[in-house]
Chains A and B, each alone.
Chain A
């Protein structure tokens, strides 16, 4: 048993963020007049500060080996924070215009982000569960944040019920693993699995349960059913958040758990991930075709993208993990940018969400249309946009890992997917122009433009992101 020093500075970013959350909450309650704007700004500041702390945080294992700090956790936390900050920026203007501007929104977003960060740093199945629940609970509320709107309330409820089911499955899996392995620590599990010649069936069933619980969070087929309804019902900034930070955190868990403690039995779970990945890619591509709502379209698109990201995990190699990490980073930016465009879809003070509403955007707002076109092409995977590099990395990793079928399915579903992405572009540029959208707020334009730049000029930042992902992935295989 290694001597574990209580090193509380490991969790300094999480502690700072949590305390800021509490402080902002108290501050908001005590304010007489509406403090939403101020609270949002404070939360944003807290994200920025936490970001710096994350970068500066030391490596090591602490808190009686339930919490770990390493390159992988840092990579995931930074992505989480960026995703949360972007969603927060989008929400400020949206909530005000929709009349749902309450100071609890940034606080909830902040707590959910704390949850994702705890997930990224988990070194114990219990930490995993705590982080997951913290993150999920906040999102349940956020989904129903526009509580007077039926869709929003329905989304919150659906996500809550199904999420609870998934949590239950996950918890059951954890208990099975604990029962058969006698420990919940990742390192302990790793040693136990590596040592035993015959893996008990109960243990592997426990692993499957854990996979299912996490697959629900990343909305992989067949645990994706909630996604379209919740994406459509929840306010777009929340959807943007849900498609970003929690997915990244769930992926962090999947990667860490699968590559770490269960890495020794990778040949046993690889097939499952492969199946889930294929099903997600195909379903995401096919089911999106008849959609008329851009939000539902994005929901199916997210299902498909998670399939591609899972491809890297299915490879179960450092190159595959690196591919997944780069893919997630790429997806985070494309997704935030697309949702910025969706947030900007307002006509005469009302938010619209049909794809047909985008008609003629190329003439009425060329900048916004260009940004959307960049995101759509990037999601297809057209070089030199960012999506291409994400796909390239996971495809090549899967191919090297000897999974040609997976790659073929991936390519076929990319081609099918191109149809509905291109349809959005076609509607924007070639259909008769509809009435122009309301002028978007500067914050929304900023997000769409900056994400457009990142996506379009990704080749410039590919090097640093790729090497950071490389470093993060190599931690998992240590």
Chain B
């Protein structure tokens, strides 16, 4: 067995150990010790994760199965605990552990003002990380689903960490419920896969995929290809976790959790699960062209939608949250046109700059004592120089300005959509390019409003102070990643070495040569997103620095459009009408009629009937011997008659 495999197992399970120690024994060993244990485990996991990555690179990306134990074995159904060691999972494990560790360390500083013990917080963080590691390292769909649900649970716990805030509880429930809705489709997808292939193990499924291409389902009066149905179901599951359009509503609300949680959700552990799922299932998705088109359309629409909403949000964290939504759209576009490698590449670079942006925003919020409204900030650049610098790096990476990380991956995706040459591909290219402009615009808006424009609240600005080292060090490390990861990884992820790097862990159907054709994109087309991004940045500078009154003027001139964007295209209101209120009405019906009248009323009536009947029954107990004797004789007669009749 490869020497990297045990390292890999340690990397996956160390966070679980940390979570158990901090969670169950946090009260007895003390807050400081619990924190130390959970961070220690995470550091260990990171070292092992990077070690496993290094080992895998040296050995030429081997594909191994690290058996842990048996789990479920029922008839023909078998789901063991096995860690899948291939480049896709190793790369994810390394990235997740690294980012998560930095967030753990950052949290020590960020949560220092909490009055209650934070061991619970660290336990949840570690649990969250473990669930994500389990998800990415799974060897079968059931194990994947375990991690998938673990991520959902941990996100619920963390978003609702401040359980005394009603808004946090509501956001946690919303995240959980929206994810459950998507999970239902995902579960049906898994079940159909099992029904189709009789196995849940990746290797077996992928081996059988070419043989079952003709399988059809007869659904709603039409015949559909089984792969399309399964693919769409899996994609809906991915949409829920990755907050794609129609199932995205939980993501902005999830900002109610502490900022490190937002960073974790957006960068490493949760929303990327959907993209990972598509990459993991690429051997199947490649044979479902309709699903792929759907993925492109949804991805592109999300990309554009989220960017427009991000333009007008006053809350610094929400702006970044919508940018995540938008960037995830890019990743799905990449998967949809068959360059999962580019999706994974963007996922990785995005992890660095998005964690950086959130943690930077957290640093700003921390400095301003929980102020999140960008329109009350301003001129903070001088008071928070390091934070300002790293936020610049993160934003440039996000906006896709060369040579920062985001440029490499995002450009590859936009080019790929063009190369794909299909209708949905061009749709993706147009929206992706426009979004590049919008991304730069709202990134610039954030930077200028927060750090460079005139001071709006002098009192707030005077109080602001740069955060401590425990916050700044993770920021600087992430900033390095955001700056250089793109250039460093590009050859491996999508460039000349990609075939050897991925070594079959991502599948491209024969004839899918989008990736190989990336170099042949016309130069003018390649330049479009970059130029648009620079243009966006310029517009941002003009609108927020040169003529700061311009945005307000625009909003006043187009109030309808402004409100439409500010209210996030009215999705929440729409869902409230379509789903929440009818559901509440049905629930109320069940409550009043089902429970109060039937579930409680019927037993109550039976009880009254019984006691009433018993009173009547006792009435024959008169005390008169004659009645008693008479009763006995009647009983005798009845018995004899019964006997004679039925004998």
In the complex the two chains form, what is the Cα distance from A429 to B614 in whole Å? 25
Q: Are B610 and A165 in contact (CB under 8 A)?
A: no
Q: Are A204 and B628 in contact (CB under 8 A)?
A: no
Q: Are A225 and B640 in contact (CB under 8 A)?
A: no
Judged by DSSP, the binding face of B is helix
Considering only residues 586-618 of chain B, those with a C-beta below 8 Å from chain A are 610-611, 613-615, 617-618
Q: Are A212 and B639 in contact (CB under 8 A)?
A: yes
In the complex the two chains form, what is the Cα distance from A226 to B630 in whole Å? 12
Q: Are A222 and B647 in contact (CB under 8 A)?
A: no
Is A15 an interface position by the 8 A CB rule?
Answer: no
Q: Are A208 and B639 in contact (CB under 8 A)?
A: yes
In the complex the two chains form, what is the Cα distance from A291 to B611 in whole Å? 11
Mask, B623-634, CB within 8 Å of A = 1, is: 101011101101
Give the shortest distance, in Å, between A33 (CB) and chain B (any CB): 40
Give the shortest distance, in Å, between A84 (CB) and chain B (any CB): 27
Q: Are B617 and A271 in contact (CB under 8 A)?
A: no
Cβ–Cβ < 8 Å partners of B627 in chain A: 225
Is A401 an interface position by the 8 A CB rule?
Answer: no
With A162-B632, A268-B647, A286-B613: A205-B640 Cβ-Cβ less than 8 Å:
yes
Q: Are A289 and B614 in contact (CB under 8 A)?
A: yes
Considering only residues 143-158 of chain A, those with a C-beta below 8 Å from chain B are 158
Q: Are A222 and B634 in contact (CB under 8 A)?
A: yes
Looking at chain B, what size class is its interface with the partner chain?
Answer: 20 to 34
Q: Are B639 and A228 in contact (CB under 8 A)?
A: no
Cβ–Cβ < 8 Å partners of B636 in chain A: 169, 208-209, 212
Cβ–Cβ < 8 Å partners of A129 in chain B: none
Is A142 an interface position by the 8 A CB rule?
Answer: no
Is A85 an interface position by the 8 A CB rule?
Answer: no
Cβ–Cβ < 8 Å partners of A283 in chain B: 617
Q: Are B613 and A161 in contact (CB under 8 A)?
A: no
Cβ–Cβ < 8 Å partners of B638 in chain A: 222
Q: Are B614 and A272 in contact (CB under 8 A)?
A: no
Is A287 an interface position by the 8 A CB rule?
Answer: yes
Is B73 an interface position by the 8 A CB rule?
Answer: no
Q: Are A287 and B617 in contact (CB under 8 A)?
A: yes
Q: Are A208 and B628 in contact (CB under 8 A)?
A: no
**What residue in chain B is nearest A160 (Cβ atoms)?**
B625
**What residue in chain B is nearest A282 (Cβ atoms)?**
B617
Cβ–Cβ < 8 Å partners of A162 in chain B: 625, 628-629, 632
With A225-B621, A287-B618: A204-B632 Cβ-Cβ less than 8 Å:
no
Cβ–Cβ < 8 Å partners of B618 in chain A: 287, 290-291
Considering only residues 407-444 of chain A, those with a C-beta below 8 Å from chain B are 416, 419
Is A275 an interface position by the 8 A CB rule?
Answer: yes
Cβ–Cβ < 8 Å partners of B628 in chain A: 158, 162, 225-226
Cβ–Cβ < 8 Å partners of A275 in chain B: 639, 642
Mask, A190-211, CB within 8 Å of B = 1, is: 0000000000010011001101
With A158-B628, A225-B628, A225-B632: A286-B610 Cβ-Cβ less than 8 Å:
yes
Q: Are B621 and A228 in contact (CB under 8 A)?
A: yes
With A228-B621, A286-B610, A286-B613: A268-B632 Cβ-Cβ less than 8 Å:
no
With A272-B642, A287-B614, A289-B611: A222-B621 Cβ-Cβ less than 8 Å:
no
**What residue in chain B is nearest A286 (Cβ atoms)?**
B614
**What residue in chain B is nearest A420 (Cβ atoms)?**
B614
Q: Are A158 and B625 in contact (CB under 8 A)?
A: yes
In the complex the two chains form, what is the Cα distance from A378 to B109 in whole Å? 60
Give the shortest distance, in Å, between A273 (CB) and chain B (any CB): 10
In the complex the two chains form, what is the Cα distance from A275 to B639 in whole Å? 9
Is A39 an interface position by the 8 A CB rule?
Answer: no
Considering only residues 263-310 of chain A, those with a C-beta below 8 Å from chain B are 268-269, 271-272, 275-276, 283, 286-291
**What residue in chain A is nearest B616 (Cβ atoms)?**
A286
In the complex the two chains form, what is the Cα distance from A301 to B613 in whole Å? 17
Q: Which residues of A contact B (CB under 8 A)?
A: 158, 161-162, 165-166, 169, 201, 204-205, 208-209, 211-212, 216, 221-223, 225-226, 228-229, 268-269, 271-272, 275-276, 283, 286-291, 416, 419
User: 9 tightest CB-CB pairs across the interface, nearest first?
Assistant: A222-B635, A225-B628, A289-B614, A286-B614, A287-B617, A212-B636, A290-B615, A223-B632, A208-B640
